[in-house]
Amino acid sequence: MGIIRASAFSVSIDGFAAGLHQTIDNPFGERGMALPDWMLKTRMFHTMTGRNGGSTGVDDGFAERSMENIGAWIMGRNMFGPMRGPWPDESWKGWWGPNPPYHTPVYVLTHHARASIEMEGGTVFQFVTDGIEPALKQARAAAKDRDIRVGGGASVVRQFLQAGLLDEMHLALPAVLLGAGESLFAGLDLPALGYAPVDRLTGENATHVKIGRKSA
């Protein structure tokens, strides 16, 4: 049986998962590209984007493991694209080009219905308008015995934590302060929700903290 997890989720030291004012040219918002920079330097990311090189070591190991054994993804609309409100048309198909890195069904949480999009490499974006639990039910059926990975944004991860539906969360914390943006921990009392740190390791460009459910 797979688990429900957030992996390689980059967060600033002051708790922000993205900066303000996300745009098509600035998907992580103002100053936000400093957050995933640790991953962009890894061999895993270079390989995934068709390039040679990239760093090996602790960061690369976490990046590699973040993509293993995934049978389905769940993400928020902000992770899928920068537009808000009703879809202006169906031309936008994500940030990632014709062959996104997911290669599984991806359930996008949104308030505005849209037809599914089949992409190269097995990625199928499906749009869910009735919340995290129906999305999770669909993802479980698709993933079978593999893991379900919960992607961004911060709001989606908060919802899964608040509902006690996330089994494990790996946070990557680069030495970055954003000052403002999308707070990951706003309104959450993680110990009261049954979560505790279970592991920590310092990488080349980020500190990696794994959070899991506390033992009964």
Banded model confidence at residue 113, pLDDT cuts 50, 70, 90 = very high
Q: Is residue 160 part of a domain?
A: yes
DSSP string computed for 107-145: EEE-SS----EE-GGG-EEEEE-S-HHHHHHHHHHHHTT
Q: Is residue 49 part of a domain?
A: yes
Q: Is residue 91 part of a domain?
A: no
Q: What is the pLDDT of residue 127?
A: 98
Residue 216 has pLDDT above 80, yes or no: no
Q: Is residue 170 part of a domain?
A: yes
Q: Is residue 132 part of a domain?
A: yes
Q: What is the 3-state secondary structure (H, E, C) of 4-42?
A: EEEEEEECCCCCEEECCCCECCECCCCCHHHCCHHHHCE
- Expressed as residue numbers, the domain containing 113 is 4-17+27-83+99-207
Q: Which helix (H) or strand (E) holds 158?
A: helix 154-162
CATH of the domain at 37: 3.40.430.10
Global pTM value? 0.95
Q: What is the pLDDT of residue 24?
A: 85
What would the two tokens of residue 108 be? 């996008």
CB-CB contact of 109 with 128 (8 Å): yes
Q: Is residue 120 part of a domain?
A: yes
Q: What is the pLDDT of residue 152?
A: 84
Compute the C-alpha angle 193/29/89, nearest 5°.
100
Which of helix, strand or coil describes residue 73?
A: strand
Total of domains in the chain: 1
Q: What is the pLDDT of residues 1-55, one digit of tens each?
A: 899 999 999 999 999 999 999 888 888 999 999 999 999 999 999 999 989 999 9
Q: What does the chain come to in residues? A: 216
Q: Is residue 40 part of a domain?
A: yes
What would the two tokens of residue 27 be? 């998907």
Q: What is the pLDDT of residues 124-137, one digit of tens each?
A: 999 999 999 999 99
Q: What is the pLDDT of residues 166-207, one digit of tens each?
A: 999 999 999 999 999 999 999 999 999 999 999 999 999 999
Q: What is the pLDDT of residues 85-98, one digit of tens each?
A: 999 999 999 999 99
Average pLDDT for residues 59-76, to the nearest whole number?
98
CB-CB contact of 118 with 100 (8 Å): no
Q: Is residue 184 part of a domain?
A: yes
Q: What is the pLDDT of residue 214?
A: 80
Instruction: List residues bridging with 74 in a β-sheet.
Output: 107, 150
Helices 132-143 and 154-162: angle between axes, nearest 10 degrees? 90
Q: What is the pLDDT of residue 192?
A: 96
